[in-house]
Amino acid sequence: MTIFEAVREATGTLKNSGIENPVWEAGLLMGFVLKKDISYVYAHYDNSLSHEDCEKYKDLVRIRANGMPYQYITQNQEFMSLDFFVSSGCLVPRPETEILAEAALSWIKEKNSDAVRVLDIGTGSGAIAVSIAYYAANTVVHAIDISREAIETAKRNAKKHKVNNRIHFIQKDFFGWEPDSPYDIVVSNPPYIPGPEISLLPAGIINYEPVTALDGGPDGLMFYREIAVKINKLLNPEGTVFVEVGAGQARSVSDIFENCGLLTSVYRDLSGTERVVRGDRK
Ligand code: SAM
Ligand code: GLN
């Protein structure tokens, strides 16, 4: 069988199971099997596949057709132009979270100070923490997550991008934790899906992504309230907090932050949805 024939067959299988970009994903999975990038796949369509690669490819296509997000198959997701290793114990970093990382990075650049202390709450794969450390060399980042597997994944990503000497990982429950001293900037993409809505999420999310990464309590807002309760311990007097929010939550989260004395503003994502709430201490 040639690469072309295998990819064509896989495209059909993926299409039949309702996968949105079947051609692209079929090529991507072929690249993963061949340990090459997708442009290699397109440029070598006439090459024949070894029996072993062919069987491996069919297995992966079957797994994808059954609903596993391809990022858990290839164990990789790009975020802020960096490759992140992802495992089933952590959320796949989402493109809209780049809005938060970019807003935080421009705040840090403007600050222009020697050692900016950053806290990332619910670090997951480390997407936000590692990108900040990577793109702003003047940062020292603390990253907390309740999940051992997430922390292990984040550590691996910090090493991969050579910022492990500037990130300190803490495996703790944020609700039972207090920092030794406050930070200049706090960032977080916390779990924010309201508990009752979790079962309504697409199958690719509920069947594969860890529920601890999604469940924001009865109304989805419990992490924002906990940040507000702890704000004086978390943030320096000149400090700023940036949080990602779910669609429709920006007003409620701004209220929570304003009630603890922060000045708030909101950033939209590329689809126009209010996605990040910023809170500045006066
Ligand atoms: N920051 C990553 C990102 O943006 O891709 C992951 C965000 S994910 C939505 C939320 C993370 O919060 C998960 O990794 C989860 O394990 C962590 N988490 C959930 N409950 C927590 C708690 N009580 N304390 C600390 N971290 C928690
Ligand atoms: N963005 C995730 C989703 O699409 C939710 C992540 C979160 O709860 N922070 O389901």
- Tell me: the pLDDT tens digits for 227-256? 999 999 999 999 999 999 999 999 999 999
Residues 131 and 53 in one domain: no
Range(s) of the domain holding residue 23: 3-66
Residues 61 and 125 in one domain: no
Q: Which of 92, 94, 187, 207 to mutate to test the pocket of ligand 2 (most atoms within 8 A of CB)?
A: 94
Segments of 15-166 assigned E as strands: 76-79, 82-85, 116-121, 139-145
Those residues whose C-beta lies under 8 Å from the C-beta of residue 55, and which sit 6 or more positions away, are none
Residues 146 and 186 in one domain: yes
Ligand 1 contact, 91 CB (< 6 A):
yes
Q: What is the pLDDT of residues 170-190, one digit of tens each?
A: 999 999 999 999 999 999 999
Under a CB-based contact definition with an 8 Å cutoff, are residues 96 and 121 in contact? no
| Percent of the chain whose predicted confidence (pLDDT) is above 70 | 100
Those residues whose C-beta lies under 8 Å from the C-beta of residue 38, and which sit 6 or more positions away, are 24, 27, 28, 30, 31
Domain contains 84: no
pLDDT for 109 equals 95
pLDDT for 113 equals 87
Q: What is the pLDDT of residues 92-148, one digit of tens each?
A: 999 999 999 999 999 999 988 889 999 999 999 999 999 999 999 999 999 999 999
Ligand 2 contact, 168 CB (< 6 A):
no
Residues 110 and 230 in one domain: yes
Residues 99 and 60 in one domain: no
Domain contains 77: no
Segments of 8-121 assigned E as strands: 76-79, 82-85, 116-121
Domain tally, the chain: 2
pLDDT tops 80 at residue 282: no
Domain contains 75: no
What are φ and ψ of residue 94, in 5° steps?
Answer: -100, 150
Instruction: Looking at the CA of residue 96, tell me the nearest atom of ligand 2.
Output: 1
Under a CB-based contact definition with an 8 Å cutoff, are residues 22 and 14 in contact? yes
Residues 260 and 160 in one domain: yes
Atom 21 (ligand 1): residue with closest C-alpha? 146
Structure tokens that stand for 98 in this block:
């780049």
Residues 29 and 103 in one domain: no
Residues 141 and 272 in one domain: yes
Task: Give the global pTM.
Answer: 0.96
Domain contains 228: yes
Domain contains 176: yes
CATH number assigned to the domain comprising residue 230: 3.40.50.150
Domain contains 72: no
Residues 201 and 257 in one domain: yes
Q: Which of 145, 192, 275 to mutate to test the pocket of ligand 2 (most atoms within 8 A of CB)?
A: 192
pLDDT for 77 equals 97
- Looking at all shown ligands, the one closest to residue 210's CA atom is 1
Residues 174 and 104 in one domain: yes
Handedness of CA 189, 97, 14, 46 (dihedral sign): negative
pLDDT tops 80 at residue 62: yes
CATH number assigned to the domain comprising residue 28: 1.10.8.10
